[in-house]
Amino acid sequence: MIQNHEIDYRIIGEEMQYVEVELDPNETAIAEPGAFMMMDDGISMETMFGDGSNQSGGGGLLGKLLNAGKRVLVGENLFMTAFTNIGQGKKHVSFASPYPGKIIPLNLQQLGNRIICQKDAFLCAAKGVSIGIEFQKKLGTGLFGGEGFIMERLEGDGMAFMHASGYVQQKELQAGEILKIDTGCIVGFTATVSYDIQFVGGIKNTLFGGEGVFFATLTGPGIVWIQSLPISRLAGRILQYATTTRREEGSVLGGLGSLIGGDNQW
């Protein structure tokens, strides 16, 4: 039986959230590099290979190296950062989401001890939670899954935290209930949910739909967390505006507005 450190927490903020984790003496929280925000005096910070769980790379050094190699292949970090209360009394360490949205607390013990999530959704967790890579076994999912092809697997019986962009909805699917969704809008789901990729179909949909050629199908039973604005979609729109010629959208003056505004030099 996996034994994770039992941590208390509170989530602070509305759209730019961070989570404050309370550690008793000798308790440890782990986080992805770059998630750290602040901590009390008396907490030690240590960079470690893997996630520090007993089942991370089970099989000795070779197992750990293989597990690390999988993480490198999908653009994840080889290392995690551990924050341990080495002082007296309760101490606090805080972790912040890298973009506007919500932080989702997960009590893994109450969620079947396993969550599958987008590979950039994990924020932090109690030490003992295993963070691995979930490879989808179906060929269609593997070839065409896009953002949802390779996902992370969170396992254990402690607390873990995901972060998502935009508005977040938790939806419970009944047995056999199917949800069709853009792969980038999936934050995570319980291990009881089946995941696959479906072709949109139709020449007009494919060429002019603007929603991609494939979408994900999630089949219950289980819980799904959905985000309204994938960060990749937001980044793509910003890049589009940054690299195209200004079109004076919404202006009745058109190009004349630029002249009056002084954008063009004579």
Q: What residue ranges define each of the domains in the chain, with the CATH number in brackets?
A: 8-244 (3.60.160.10)
Q: Which pTM was predicted? A: 0.77
pLDDT tens figures, 158-189: 999 999 988 899 999 999 999 999 888 999 99
pLDDT tens figures, 191-216: 999 988 776 655 554 444 444 567 88
Provide the greatest CA pair distance for the chain. Answer: 75
The percent of residues above 90 in pLDDT, for the chain, comes to 43
For residue 179, what are the β-bridge partners? 218
What six digits make up the tokens of 260?
């009056």
Around Cβ 116, how many Cβ atoms within 10 Å?
Answer: 20
Q: Is the peptide bond between 230 and the residue preceding it cis, with omega within 30 degrees of 0?
A: no
For residue 180, what are the β-bridge partners? 217
